[in-house]
Amino acid sequence: MSSVFARDYAAELPMVDHASGVYIHGADGRAYLDGMGSAGVIGIGHGRTEIYDALASQGSKVSYVYTASFNHPWQESLGRSILSVAPEGMSAVYFVSGGSEANETALKLARQYHVERGQPQRHRMLARWQSYHGVTIATLSLSGRTSWRAPYDPYLLPVLHVAPPYEYRCSYCRDSGGCTMDCVDELERTILLAGPETISCFFAETIVGTTASGLVPKPEYYRRVREICDRYGILFIADEVLMGYGRTGRPFAIDDWGVLPDMITCGKAIGSGYAPLGAVLVNEKVTSVFREGRKRFVHGFTYSGHALSCFVGQQVFDIMQREDLFSRPGVMGAYLHGRLNDLQQRHALIGDVRGRGLYAGVEFVADRGSREPFAPERNFTGRLVAMMRDRGVIVGGGVPGANFGRGGDHIQITPPYIVSEAEIDVIVDALDDVLTLLS
C-alpha cells in the first residue's frame, strides 16, 4: 500500500518504531545513529522520559489558551529562562511554533518598529546569498539558495542579497590568503545604492548552516555589520534557528562575536523535538518602541505561545542547564572537528571542514588544488548520504538539487548534544569507509 504521507513520491522512507539517546530505531529492527540530530533539532537526546513524566504530572493543568486573551506561567517562565542565558540587552521573547514562523515574526516586528517610529518608507529587506531562513513565502524570499527559490520565484518578495562570508569559495578573497572583509563592504555599498532610508533590516544566519554547511565569519565580521546597521538605522536580525541554543557550545552563536543583534530568532533545539517551538528574542531598543508606542504588535498566530509547547520548552531548558548542554557541544565539537581534520589529511575528496561546536560541515571537491566541485550529475552528496545510511549513520545533505551550484557538495554533521566520543567515532569511521569507496 502506498504511503498517505505525500512529501516525497520518489523515496520510500524507513518506518520508525522508537528513538532513544542518539539512536532512531526502525520498525524493521535497524538502528540508525542520528548524526544529523534530526535536522539539528535534537539537543537533549531522543526519548527523555522525564519530559513525559513532567507532562503527566503538571502538563494537564492547561494545554492551550489563546495568548491574545490570557497569559500563562509557562510562557513567562520559559521567556525569563531564555533571557537569562541570552546576550545582555535582550528584553522580550515572542513564542511561535518553529523557525520559519520566528523569522516571519521578526520581519514583521522590524517593519512595525519603523512604522511606529515614523519611518514607513523603510520596507526593503537585506539578506545573503546561500542562506536559508525558512519555507514560507517571506522567509523563502530572504533565503539565498537559488534551487529552492526557483519553483516559487514569481511569488517571492524583492529582497536585496549580498555575498555570504564563504571564504573557501569567495570571489573576493579565496586567493588572498584569508578573508578581506570585502563582503561587508558589499553590504554597505548595497545599502548606499538602494537608499539607506528605505531599508528595514539585515537578516543573517550567524553561522550559515544548511545551504553552505557551516560558514563561520571572521571575529570582526559582526562588529562591522553592527556598525553599518547602526549607521543607517537598519535592524540586524540574527537567525539562530539552527546554530543557537547550545549547538556551537555557547547559548547563542553570536556570543562568540560579542555583538548584540536587534533580534535573535530560534527554533529547533529550544523544543528539542518534544514540541513544536520557536522564539524571537528582541532587544530593549526595539521592545521599548512597542512598550511606549501603540503598545501592540499587530501579529499573532493562533498557536503563538502554545502552553504545552512552552511547558515542554521549560523542561528542555532545565535539562540543558542541569547537564551543561549549553556548553557541552563546545567540548564534544572539538573532538568531532579534530577527527574530521584528521580525515581530511587522508581523503583528497574533502576540500574543507568547517563549522563550530557540534555543527560540522564537510565540503567535497573533485580536485582539492583547484577546489573544482563535482558535476551535479554525479550526485556525490546524495550517494554519500545513502551509503552512510546503509551503514546505519544519518548525516544531513543529499537533498536532490540542493547542494549544487556555487557551493558544491557538502554534508552537515549535527548530532544531539549528548553524543559521546565513541558515537562520534562511529559517525566519522563510517564517513572514512564511504569516502574510501567513493574515491
What gap in Å lies between CA 403 and CA 377, rounded to an integer?
12
In terms of CB distance, is 241 or 430 closer to ligand PLP? 241
* Burial class of residue 177 in the structure, from the number of CB atoms within 10 Å of its CB (0-12 exposed, 13-18 middle, 19+ buried): exposed
Instruction: Find the shortest distance in angstroms from Cβ 211 to ligand PLP.
Output: 9
Instruction: Decide: is 242 part of the binding site for ligand PLP (CB under 6 A).
Output: yes
In terms of CB distance, is 134 or 330 closer to ligand PLP? 134
- Which set of grid coordinates corresponds to residue 302? 493562533
Instruction: Find the shortest distance in angstroms from Cβ 98 to ligand PLP.
Output: 3
In terms of CB distance, is 199 or 241 closer to ligand PLP? 241
Site for ligand PLP in 200-219 (CB under 6 A): 205, 209-210
- Binding to ligand PLP by CB under 6 A, coded x per residue (else -) over 86-125, reads ------------xxx--x----------------------
Instruction: Find the shortest distance in angstroms from Cβ 245 to ligand PLP.
Output: 12
Instruction: Decide: is 244 part of the binding site for ligand PLP (CB under 6 A).
Output: no
**What DSSP letter does each residue of 413-425 carry, written as one string?**
E---TT--HHHHH
In terms of CB distance, is 134 or 361 closer to ligand PLP? 134
Site for ligand PLP in 131-160 (CB under 6 A): 132-134
Instruction: Decide: is 239 part of the binding site for ligand PLP (CB under 6 A).
Output: yes
> In the beta sheet, which residues pair with residue 410?
363
What gap in Å lies between CA 386 and CA 398, rounded to an integer?
8
HSE at residue 189, side-chain half, CA atoms within 13 A, is: 9
* Strand 278-283 versus strand 350-356 pairing type: unpaired
What gap in Å lies between CA 276 and CA 273, rounded to an integer?
7
Instruction: Find the shortest distance in angstroms from Cβ 99 to ligand PLP.
Output: 2
Where are the alpha helices (H) located in 120-181, listed in sequence order? Answer: 137-142, 146-149
The stretch among 29-37, 172-180, 237-245, 247-255 that binds ligand PLP (CB under 6 A) is 237-245
Instruction: Find the shortest distance in angstroms from Cβ 127 to ligand PLP.
Output: 11
Instruction: Decide: is 267 part of the binding site for ligand PLP (CB under 6 A).
Output: yes
Instruction: Find the shortest distance in angstroms from Cβ 163 to ligand PLP.
Output: 18
The C-alpha R_g of the chain, in whole angstroms, comes to 21
Classify 247 as helix, strand or coil: coil
In terms of CB distance, is 188 or 206 closer to ligand PLP? 206
Nearest to 137 by CA among 157, 107, 161, 167: 157
> In the beta sheet, which residues pair with residue 239?
205, 265
Instruction: Decide: is 38 part of the binding site for ligand PLP (CB under 6 A).
Output: no
What gap in Å lies between CA 105 and CA 300, rounded to an integer?
8
Name the residues that contact ligand PLP, by CB under 6 A.
98-100, 103, 132-134, 205, 209-210, 239, 241-242, 267
